[in-house]
Structure 1
């Protein structure tokens, strides 16, 4: 009963925080913790032992299997990425992570077989850190889905479309998907008699002939959007700059609320978190992405979230890594 009560409280806090501001990564952590506690309590109701004991046993039993399954899926996706996108560092992310996930388990089996106490202790530290990072990854993926499913864009005053790179001076499929999503929102609001302002955001990359905003604006106008309904932000080179420069342009028009940001579905949660960080009152809508591309893209987003909180992440991982080493020394 205690575990169930803790889970209900955590889910209640999640609901309150979600209603206050859904753009917080901590919401996802609370949601996952609450679901784990409630799930452990429900499972323990039909099993021997306390709820906390059952929850621990479930985690210990399922974690290795889930990690092995995840490693296999990541390696499979990595092969697909290399075949379709070519050999580039970004495309090696899922394959490399899949292989890396297998290493601690292989070494742990070897240490157990050879009775290498020191290596075993080090590997326990590695597994603790990996478990923490894995928990955050699951929270990130879960909350990305929840945020994407629950965000609505009707009645926007302004729609900001984030750039994602050009092919010379042409709009590639990934960027076209974002623009098409924004077009759908604009047309729906226009049909209700409240056409929002469209802002296209993206500067000129070193391998691009023109600024992304110029190509994006032309794309929208070719698809029926009046020229005076499109505002071009052509200086930004990062997502944070997309948000800051667009915020400035909107403020010049007297717009400080009712803003919808359109990006790819894998980029939604981190964009929402960045919008909150720069003080832009906006929610984020995702555009479809090729399925084979999603795992690598989501992993890059997750790494980006950790990088933005690098000192906290480093400190937490350091404490977890030190625990088994401290126990071994004390023993």
Structure 2
């Protein structure tokens, strides 16, 4: 009976995922529904295996071996992840320099090892019972953020699989900082991705799309990002008549909103089609901001050096957490209250027993 309910709930969640995905791929709930559905499916299969194992010794031994392998491999996976993050931080510093924004892999790697060190004081193998609830709370918080990160990664993968097709009226290229008055390799990758889409549309004999290069001038920049991108496109033989500049934005949401104003003014609201070009790690969050700005557009992502991806994805994840911080604070606050009530109940019980 339990496994039937479990399979039914799994089917319901996966159906909700399909509906949400078809309605709008640019929502974090799409990844949450798919992740939850797959985890529940794994749980349902485990229940089925246990029921079969009661009547089949071979299946029982195979299930026991699988459970043992999971117990052994999970800690190794966590340790390997922490070590990999620290190693990646070293590579990132060597290639990109020691900058605050490049410290995320180092910080997460150190947090993983700090948490593993804390588990050494767990009541499971020590007599420090007073640490049970604090360690339990930290484990619950870690599991929560780990689950949200997994959902975020699933959302990113799903959105990167979207392939917008020609023809489109506009290509919005999002800014990403400059080196002097020139585009950085990161920004050049975005522009090259947009140019590839432009050339493909030309080859299909459609009217070429118009570029909207979006990015203002930072306090440490000589010219605006939009101006530098325009110069790059001109060097790549893109006609000036096919370029529009949006040079007032300072973040991704403004990139989308201000670019939309330009396209609305030129073509009329809702009377054009467009795509936006950015790096693959930034694609999903950019899509979320496009939705918030009311822009009906999906993205095309440029490839990023592999060593840069872990730090970039962590930074994007932190930005997504900040975007929905009220919900996360509410859920974490609920966790803290529950563990606080448990601590109060235990204290009262110990006091009653002492009396």
User: TM-score normalized by structure 2?
Assistant: 0.86
Of the three residues 88, 93, 96, the one matched with 2:107 is 96
CA deviation vs aligned residue, 1:34-54 (integer Å, no higher than 9, x gap): 11111222233223599xxx9
Partner of 1:242: 255
In the alignment, the residues of structure 2 paired with residue 6 and residue 64 of structure 1 have an alpha-carbon distance, to the nearest angstrom, of: 30
Cα distance in 2 for residues equivalent to 1:77 and 1:321: 33
Mapping 1:294-305, distance limit 5 Å: 294-305=309-320
Alignment deviations for residues 207-260 of structure 1 (CA, whole Å, 9 cap, x no partner):
211111111011111112111000011111111111111011011012534220
1:68 aligns with 2:95: no
Equivalent of 2:216, from 203, 218, 243? 203
Q: CA RMSD in A?
A: 2.0
1:133 and 2:145 correspond: yes
Equivalent in 155, 162, 175 of residue 150 of structure 1: 162
Distance 1:180 1:32, change over 3 A: same
What are the superposed Cα offsets for residues 79-138 of structure 1, whole Å, 9 maximum, x if unpaired? 211221121111111111111022222112124344222222111101101100100001
The structure number with the bigger radius of gyration is: 2
Alignment match of 2:289 (pick from 266, 274, 286)? 274
C-alpha distance in 2, partners of 1:95/1:258?
Answer: 41
Q: TM-score, normalised by structure 1?
A: 0.92
- Following TM superposition, by how much is the alpha carbon of 1:175 offset from its aligned partner in structure 2, in angstroms? 0.5
- For each residue in 1:248-306, what CA deviation from the matched residue of structure 2 results, as whole angstroms up to 9, or x when unmatched? 10110125342201111000111111111121111111111111000000000000001
Any stretches of 5+ residues in structure 1 without a counterpart? Answer: none
Matching of residues 26-65 of structure 1 within 5 Å:
26-48=29-51, 61=71, 64-65=75-76
Quick one: which of 127, 132, 140 aligns to 1:115?
127
2:178 is the alignment partner of 1:166: yes
C-alpha deviation, 1:66, in angstroms: 4.0
Q: Answer yes or no: is 1:9 the counterpart of 2:20.
A: no
Q: Select between 118-127 and 24-33 the one with higher mean Cα deviation.
A: 118-127
Matched, 1:190 2:205: no
- Matched with 2:232 is 219
Do the aligned partners of 1:122 and 1:325 also contact (CA within 8 Å) in 2?
no
Say if 1:125 and 1:325, in contact at 8 Å, map to a contact too.
no
Q: Name structure 2 gaps, 5 residues minimum.
A: 54-62, 347-355
- Within 2, Cα distance between the matches of 1:153 and 1:236? 27
SS at match of 1:296: helix
Q: Residue in 2 aligned with 1:21? A: 24
1:33, distance to aligned residue in structure 2 (A)? 0.2
Name the count of aligned residue pairs: 325
SS of 2:212's equivalent? strand
C-alpha displacement of 1:314: 1.1
Whether the 8 Å contact between 1:128 and 1:321 is mirrored in structure 2 is no
Q: Distance in 2 between matches of 1:235 and 1:328?
A: 53
1:323 Cα deviation after fit? 2.6
**1:324 Cα offset (Å):** 3.1
Q: C-alpha distance in 1, partners of 2:6/2:84? A: 32
CA distance in 2: counterparts of 1:22 and 1:85, whole angstroms: 33
| Residue 190 (structure 2) pairs with residue 178 (structure 1) | yes
